[in-house]
Chain A
Amino acid sequence: MSPLLEVENLSVGFAGQLAVDSVSFELSAGECLALVGESGSGKSVTARSLLGLSGGKVSAEKFSVLGQDATAMSERAWQQMRGNSVAMILQDALMALDPLRPVGREIADALKEHSSLSKPERTAKVREALEAVDLPEPAWRMKQRSSQLSGGMRQRVLIAQAMIGDPQVVIADEATTALDSRLTALVLEQLRALKNAGRAVLMISHDLAQVAQLADRIAVMRAGKIVEAGDTDQVLNRPQHEYTRTLLRAIPSGVPRFQPLSLAPPKAAVVAQEPAKPARMPALVVEDLSKSFGKHAAVQGAGFVVQQGQTLGLVGESGSGKTTTARLVLGLERPDTGSVRLFGEHFAPQREAQRRYLRENIGAIYQNPLGSFDPRYNVGQLLTDALSAGRSKRGASYRTQVSRLLEQVELDPALGSRNPRELSGGQRQRLAIARALAPRPKVLVLDEPVSALDVSIQATVLDLLDRLQQETGTSYLFISHDLSVIEHMSDTVAVMYRGSIVEQGATADVFGDPQHEYTRSLLTAMPRLR
């Protein structure tokens, strides 16, 4: 049987720049191919061009979709194909569904377009499709609007929508990126069912560990080119290309603490030795912390201890109360009950003026560092402001200290005159770390510090955080939804679920022998390579 998709030397250009450069692959029925790459690698453009949606200038030696020559297809022919024989599952379910129409009608649209079924027949078919993706109470749910459904239900609706035309090729473009681990497992299960039913599945993802669960073959993309392609087993276990190795090394799960995830430049190489263990002393003690917003209890009775020089990983899904906990610890919200102590001193609840002298001991790093910088400051001014406690932003006397801070986070001191907006995501996060380090804090609260970064950049930032902890003995409260990051970075772990900490203990214990039901369900959904 001939492949459903055949692509040979496909290039897509935008204004003279090639976003996709001579890419070749093919995909047959019952097969799953994964295109893996970081942002800007051209994987999404490749996927969109398979639906005639790239928006750029497409050229190829051979480009056939379901046996038709796609280079010569009219817009009308593409419309016939989209949602009918080739379907796409989108990333963001909330954005992809019309908020004002019942989801059942959204799904039925494709049938109206591509079939001659009567209205009752269409309704029955929509219900079937929703049943097939395990949506509870489909007859009732299909009359609801997307805002009335939970995130998981919405994602199922999107899959049903893609499936309704009984497509032969299904493209999943980062279909699990915005989802927490349990929903991800669900979507992967659906994709596996499709594959087993003889559909061709093309997965687009940045996450090698995740596609490994499903893909038969993997193509690794970088800067518009496929740098390596082959069977999943071969790509994962015997990678040929250096970039594939970099990506694999960057996956944090199963890597022991302090072992670098990136190939650090020689000057910054870490001597992998245990830091001189200081006498165990709690740096941060949180007791019985609760906070409600109106009727919604965001955090309920959370308590944990961060030991000096160690990392506590706080893990949970979005909405579980992690960020509120961070804000309570930082004294940005006043707790309803409970207390926070820093090295035995009362930090919260406390009047700002009375605890200000303690502030230099605790710093924070956010997911989006740019929002926390004053937009008028350049890199040097930002750090000078932090070093001088806000009294100066130019002072020449701080120049050497600014350079030293930048070197400490492996940034070029020449960046001092740049605006943070001109920096890359990884550089910005390094700058945020440098600023947080300026007052020499003893505790850092890191709220999803690497969630917005590409895997290989994430690896270098995690390595930097490891190195800084070894050098300075700073304690980390490390908050993330990403289990593999938490596993690599933490000495102890606390699992948060619906505002409460349901389980905590040493990392190896929690990951090796989870006690709570919820932790177990999280861990079974976690993709693992090692």
Chain B
Amino acid sequence: MSRTAKILGTVFILFWLLTALAPGLIAPGDPLAVDPAQAFHAPSLAHPMGTDESGRDVFTRVIHGAGDSLYIGLAATALGMGIALVLGTAAALAPRWLDGAILRVLEALYAVPSLLLALLIIAFTGPGVGPAIVAVGLSTAPGYARLVRSQIRSVKNSEMLEAATVLGRGTWLKVQNHLVPNALRPLLALVTLGIGQAVIWAAALSFLGLGTPPPAPEWGAMLSAGRTYLHLAWWLSFFPGLAIVVVAAGATLIGRSLGGKVNAA
């Protein structure tokens, strides 16, 4: 990774972390404060992103919405990767029959389009932040699990690990020195890519009214709410949409450059 890319990436991550943890520092207003007299103001100095149908400041809402959106994205990816690590490692190290059984389950899950799987899960649990996390997490898990499995298997069967056995390394040293770094480090890049994807999915679920319930300032929900007024107030949908694009694109770029680094090493 070049120096500039490193600095840009770090700044990007720090900015969104700050936004998510302390939105009040950037946008001191109340994202839920209703003021009907101020409804549908176009972007101006007072309201850089305009106001919505209830006169709430869109900028304040986008900033305060970062917490929820990123939280869902991170938590869902963590859940998906957690399940994947358990299943993938188990499949890679298990006897053949268990490996086969786990693989069949993963393939069945993989065959269902992820968003459809998420919708199915929410159909059982009902909408909400928690169910959205579970839905997105579960639907990304099969893809990750197959990658974890193939990564671990390829390193496990490598000449490198055999050479370590011949040099008399115990199981723990082999896992710690060779298996984990070589098999799992490349997944770090994948996780970063996955966060961007998960943020989009979380927004999609909220857009469909299945994620964060209104009036909470979640980006997908804001997009959905703004859709009704698209012809007279474009800023209602544009700025939450822009936030989604920026976060997803940023995470993808960081993931790509991490991936490039891993591949080059």
Contact = CB atoms under 8 A, between A and B. Distances in A.
Contacts of B181: 376
Interface in A378-426: 385-386, 389-391, 393
B182 A375 contact: yes
A372 B168 contact: no
Interface residues of B, number: 18
Contact of B165 (A332, A373, A393): A332
B81 to A, nearest CB: 22
Q: Which residue among B159, B160, B163, B178 has the maximum number of chain A CB atoms within 10 Å of its CB? A: B163
A374 B166 CA distance: 14
B166 A330 contact: yes
A390 B159 contact: no
Nearest to B171: A352
Interface string A344-359: 0000000011001101
B173 A372 contact: no
A385 B164 CA distance: 10
Contact of A368 (B159, B169, B177, B265): B159
Interface string B159-200: 110111111111001000110011000000000000000000
B166 A439 contact: no
A371 B158 contact: yes
Nearest to A390: B173
Given A366-B159, A368-B159, A390-B177, A375 B166 contact: no
A366 B163 CA distance: 9
A34 to B, nearest CB: 36
Contacts of B160: 371-375
Contacts of B166: 330, 332, 359, 362-364
Q: Is the interface of B mostly helix, strand, loop or mixed?
A: helix
A288 interface: no
A372 B177 CA distance: 14
Nearest to B262: A376
A166 interface: no
Interface residues of A, number: 28
Contact of B167 (A357, A366, A390): A390
B159 A360 contact: no
Contacts of A374: 160, 177-178, 182
Nearest to A386: B167
B93 to A, nearest CB: 16
Q: Which residue among B169, B173, B182 has the maximum number of chain A CB atoms within 10 Å of its CB? A: B169
Given A374-B178, A376-B265, A385-B177, A364 B163 contact: yes
A332 B265 CA distance: 29
Contacts of A371: 158-160
Nearest to A438: B167
B169 A372 contact: no
Contacts of B163: 364, 366, 372-373
Interface string A68-103: 000000000000000000000000000000000000
B182 A376 contact: yes
Contacts of B168: 356-357, 359-360, 389, 439
Nearest to A359: B168
A300 to B, nearest CB: 24
Interface in B127-173: 158-160, 162-170, 173
Given A374-B178, A376-B181, A390-B177, A363 B162 contact: no
A330 B166 CA distance: 7
Nearest to B163: A372
A375 B265 contact: yes
A459 B80 CA distance: 55
Contacts of B169: 389-390
Contacts of B159: 366, 368, 371-372
B182 A363 contact: no
A371 B155 CA distance: 11
A391 B173 CA distance: 8
Contacts of B265: 375-376
Contacts of B164: 390
Nearest to B165: A332
B96 to A, nearest CB: 14
A387 to B, nearest CB: 10
A371 B160 CA distance: 6
Nearest to A362: B166
Given A330-B166, A331-B165, A374-B177, 19 more contacts: A332-B162, A332-B165, A353-B170, A356-B170, A357-B168, A360-B168, A362-B166, A363-B167, A372-B162, A373-B160, A374-B160, A374-B178, A375-B160, A375-B182, A376-B265, A389-B168, A390-B169, A390-B173, A435-B167
25 contacts: A330-B166, A331-B165, A332-B162, A352-B165, A353-B170, A356-B170, A359-B166, A359-B168, A363-B167, A364-B163, A366-B163, A371-B159, A371-B160, A372-B159, A372-B163, A374-B160, A374-B177, A374-B178, A374-B182, A376-B181, A386-B167, A389-B169, A390-B169, A390-B177, A393-B177
The 6 closest A-B pairs by CB, nearest first: A359-B168, A372-B163, A371-B159, A390-B173, A372-B159, A364-B166
